[in-house]
Amino acid sequence: MKIHDFSGGFFFEPSTKQLKKLFAVKNENVFIFEPKTVTIPFDQHIGAPNELVVTIGDNVRQGQIIAKSSADISGHVHSSVSGTVLEILEVPTFDGETQRAIKIQCANEKTLPELIPADLAPEIAVRHAGIVGLGGATFPTHIKLDPADHIEIEAVILNGAECEPFLASDDYLMRYESRKILRGGELARQIIGAKKILVGIESDKPKALAAMKKAAKAIPECFVFALPVKYPQGGEGQLLETLLAKESPIDGRSVETGGFTINVATAFAIAEAVDARKSLTHRYVTITGDVAEPKVISFPLGSSVGDLIDYCGGFIGTPSRVIHGGPMMGKTITNLDFPLAKGSNGIIVFNQEHDGKLPESPCIRCNRCVTVCPVRLEPQSIDLAYRSGDLFTCDQLMAEECINCGCCTYVCPARRDLAAKISAAGNEIKSLKKELAANEK
Ligand code: SF4
Ligand code: SF4
């Protein structure tokens, strides 16, 4: 099978490569973090809000459901530790707002986790386990595993590209849990009736590639591909273009290409739910940048950013920015109490020496942002329209199609914060359209 190229994107420049080296996780193993308390957000998914099902003072077990909704598009939340419910409180979100969360004091003694009921059909076990897209999308996986009947799916595509610079969580998971990841891929293949399993991994992860290729030998119609190190190779649309040479329809769903994509961490969680009856209570996260000892850590959901940075030996120098996610698509967090959740795959710290944020200047019409945009938008035109309050033009220029990859911002010599503006335009257009539709009813 031939690998194809996707449109737009870019290969990292030398300065980023140097930082990548500096920020690389050097330990071979994954660390296990055990906090004293966790603060678990009620809602860690895209969809209907959850309701609390425990009260203050309750003793809970790891794996016990603590918040859920009866709506289809929702994701149960489980206690990630055994302990006592201390408090229901509001904790910070990215956008300066707050969200509801449950604070749990961890028990001193270890107890066995509560397991998912036995003999559930795999797709029901996935729902029970609260699995959502762990590449960052956080869309409920049980819904994704139920594509419309008329869609014929050629391949389950396991996304191990992990193209954001500095992140290594999926890399480590693939090195150490390759069999379970592929087992999750097999289960997804069974549920949706696909023929093949294709795994895409960027070629700068040789150990992950070797482990996955070895494990794939035992599985029929399962193929592992080394992909070029090109950002955003791990975007769903870009991976489909690379492996199937098909573009996602603008007004349709990506699965209509015949490719059903899930992140390798999601596949791992599916195998854990179906075979070991474990709910989603832990995940891997990369803590790197200007911290004393960058690490990949398995942490219970609800651990705080501050606790994990301390676990990595604390800051080096004066911290300037702490980013949740990768440097391209991640969001700056301003409160170290921020709790890590299902969608948390990385924390990157930049100190004042490495945070080269310079002021933006007017657009010089160099067209670089247009060249790199993987969805063929005109970032500079949308940016100008948005800044002048012209949402109509933003809509004409299809701002809603932006995948927020950050390529345009990265290459802009005028340092214009294009991705943030285009994403804001897209969100405002979506809200306006929703409002209009509601008024028409
Ligand atoms: S952030 Fe949006 S507009 Fe900018 S390059 Fe990515 S997809 Fe295109
Ligand atoms: S990359 Fe920056 S300067 Fe160049 S056209 Fe786009 S917005 Fe203008």
Q: Which residue, judged by its Cα, is nearest atom 5 of ligand 1?
A: 373
Residue scoring higher pLDDT (97 or 33): 33
Query: Per-residue pLDDT for 170 more than 80?
Result: yes
Query: Helix or strand or coil: residue 295?
Result: strand
Q: Cβ(362) to ligand 2 under 6 A?
A: no
Summarize pLDDT for 348-377 with one digit per residue, the tens.
999 998 887 778 999 999 999 999 999 999
What is the best residue among 10, 241, 373, 409 to mutate for testing ligand 1's pocket, by most ligand atoms within 8 Å of CB?
373
Summarize pLDDT for 394-419 with one digit per residue, the tens.
999 999 999 999 999 999 999 999 99
Q: What is the mean pLDDT of residues 180-191?
A: 97
CATH topology of domain 116-275: Rossmann fold (3.40.50)
Nearest to 220 by CA among 245, 243, 259, 194: 194
Query: Per-residue pLDDT for 289 more than 70?
Result: yes
Output phi, psi for 112, to 5 deg: -75, 140
* 402 is annotated as contributing to ligand binding: yes
Q: Please tell me the predicted confidence (pLDDT) of residue 149.
A: 66
Query: Per-residue pLDDT for 247 more than 90?
Result: no
Q: Cβ(413) to ligand 2 under 6 A?
A: yes
- Residue ranges of alpha helices (H) inside 249-406 are 264-275, 305-311, 368-372, 379-387, 391-396
Q: Please tell me the predicted confidence (pLDDT) of residue 69.
A: 94
Domain residue ranges in the chain: 31-106+279-351, 116-275, 368-440
Mean pLDDT of the residues in the chain: 94
Q: Please tell me the predicted confidence (pLDDT) of residue 79.
A: 98
Q: Which two tokens stand for residue 28?
A: 């071979």
Q: Which residue, judged by its Cα, is nearest atom 8 of ligand 1?
A: 373
Report the distance separating Cα 255 and Cα 250, nearest Å: 12
Q: What is the mean pLDDT of residues 129-146?
A: 94
* 412 is annotated as contributing to ligand binding: yes
Q: What is the mean pLDDT of residues 39-54?
A: 94
CA 99-235-364 angle, to 5 degrees, is 95
| pLDDT band for position 111 (cuts 50, 70, 90) | confident
- Ligand 1 atom nearest to CA at 407: 5
Q: Which two tokens stand for residue 438?
A: 């509601």
Query: Helix or strand or coil: residue 40?
Result: strand
Q: What is the mean pLDDT of residues 181-208?
A: 96
- Percent of the chain exceeding pLDDT 90 equals 85
Report the distance separating Cα 379 and Cα 127, nearest Å: 38
Are 298 and 287 within 8 A, CB to CB? Answer: no
Q: What is the mean pLDDT of residues 188-206?
A: 96
* Ligand with minimal distance to 384 CA: 2
* 366 is annotated as contributing to ligand binding: yes
Q: Please tell me the predicted confidence (pLDDT) of residue 340.
A: 96
What is the best residue among 416, 417, 422 to mutate for testing ligand 2's pocket, by most ligand atoms within 8 Å of CB?
416
Q: Cβ(363) to ligand 2 under 6 A?
A: yes
Name the pTM for this structure: 0.93
Architecture of domain 31-106+279-351: Roll (3.10)
Between strands 222-227 and 196-202, the pairing is parallel
* Ligand with minimal distance to 376 CA: 1
What is the best residue among 373, 384, 412 to mutate for testing ligand 2's pocket, by most ligand atoms within 8 Å of CB?
412
Query: Helix or strand or coil: residue 419?
Result: helix
What is the best residue among 377, 410, 427 to mutate for testing ligand 1's pocket, by most ligand atoms within 8 Å of CB?
377
Query: Per-residue pLDDT for 137 more than 90?
Result: no
| pLDDT band for position 96 (cuts 50, 70, 90) | confident
Question: Sheet containing 222-227: which strands, arranged edge to edge?
Answer: 222-227, 196-202, 155-160, 259-263
Q: How far is the CA of 58 from the centre of ligand 1 (A)?
A: 46
Q: How far is the CA of 422 from the centre of ligand 2 (A)?
A: 13
Q: Which residue, judged by its Cα, is nearest atom 1 of ligand 2?
A: 412
Query: Per-residue pLDDT for 95 more than 70?
Result: yes
Q: What is the mean pLDDT of residues 136-144?
A: 92
Q: How far is the CA of 120 from the centre of ligand 1 (A)?
A: 41
- Ligand 2 atom nearest to CA at 366: 4
* 407 is annotated as contributing to ligand binding: no
> Would the CA dihedral through 269, 189, 236, 28 be positive or negative?
positive
Q: Residue 377 burial (CB < 10 Å; 0-12/13-18/19+)?
A: buried
Q: How far is the CA of 236 from the centre of ligand 2 (A)?
A: 25
* 394 is annotated as contributing to ligand binding: no
Residues with CB under 6 A from ligand 1: 372-375, 377, 379, 402-408, 418-419, 422
Report the distance separating Cα 173 and Cα 178, nearest Å: 7
Q: How far is the CA of 128 from the centre of ligand 2 (A)?
A: 47
Report the distance separating Cα 37 and Cα 370, nearest Å: 47
Tokens 């200047």 sit at which residue? 361
* 312 is annotated as contributing to ligand binding: no
Report the distance separating Cα 377 and Cα 394, nearest Å: 11
